Chain A
Amino acid sequence: MMSNKLYEIISRVMKIDISSISDELGPKTIENWTSFNGYVLLNELETGFNVKFTIDEAMDVENIADIKRHLTNKGITIDG
Chain B
Amino acid sequence: MPEKNSLSDYINKSNEITKVFDKKIKISLLSSFTINGLSEILKVKSAERHVSCIVYEAPYNQYSQEILNENSDLYKFLPDITFLILDTRNIFGEIFRFPYSISHLEKVKIVENKINEVKNLLDKYIEKSNSKIIVTKLNIPSFSPNGIFESKVEYNFSNMIEDFNKQLTENYLNSENIFVYDFDKFVAKNGEDNIFNYSQFFFGDLKISMEFLPALGQDLMKYVIGYLGITKKCIVLDLDNTLWGGIIGEDGFNGINLGPEPPGNAFMEFQRVLLSLHQRGIILAINSKNNFEDAIKVIKEHPHMILREEHFAAMCINWNDKVTNMKQIIKEINIGSDSLVFIDDDPVNREFVGSIFPEILVVNLSDDPSSYVLEIENLIDFSVLKITDEDRNRGKMYSKQKKVIELEKTSVDLQTFLNQLNLKISIKDVNEFTLPRVSQLILKTNQFNLTTKRYQQNDIQEMIEDSNFLVTCVQVEDKFGDNGITGVFIIKKENKNEWRIDTFLMSCRIMGRDIEKGIMTHIINKAKENNVQKINADFIPTQKNKPIENFLSDHDFKKEGQSWTYNIKSKIKFPEYLRIELE
Contact = CB atoms under 8 A, between A and B. Distances in A.
B202 A12 contact: no
B7 A35 contact: no
Nearest to B34: A36
A21 interface: no
Contact of B7 (A15, A43, A59): A43
Instruction: For chain A, give the interface size range.
Output: 10 to 19
Interface in A13-40: 13, 15, 35-36, 39-40
Interface string B24-36: 0000000000101
Given A36-B36, A47-B211, A55 B8 contact: no
Given A39-B203, A40-B210, A15 B12 contact: yes
Interface in B69-126: none
Contact of B203 (A12, A13, A58): A58
Nearest to A43: B210
Contact of B8 (A13, A53, A58, A59): A13
A36 B204 contact: yes
B204 A39 contact: yes
A66 interface: no
Contacts of B7: 40, 43-44
Nearest to A36: B36
Interface residues of B, number: 19
Contacts of A44: 6-8
Interface in A43-79: 43-44, 47, 52-53, 55, 58-59
A12 B37 contact: no
Nearest to A14: B8
Interface string B443-462: 00000000000000000000
B23 to A, nearest CB: 28
A53 B200 CA distance: 11
Contacts of B9: 12
Contacts of B6: 44, 47
B195 interface: no
Interface in B29-65: 34, 36-37
Given A43-B211, A47-B211, A35 B204 contact: yes
Interface of B: 6-9, 11-12, 15, 34, 36-37, 199-200, 202-204, 206, 209-211
15 contacts: A12-B8, A12-B9, A13-B8, A36-B34, A36-B37, A39-B200, A39-B204, A40-B37, A40-B210, A43-B210, A44-B6, A44-B7, A47-B211, A52-B199, A58-B199
Interface of A: 12-13, 15, 35-36, 39-40, 43-44, 47, 52-53, 55, 58-59
Given A12-B8, A36-B37, A47-B211, 4 more contacts: A36-B204, A40-B7, A43-B209, A55-B199
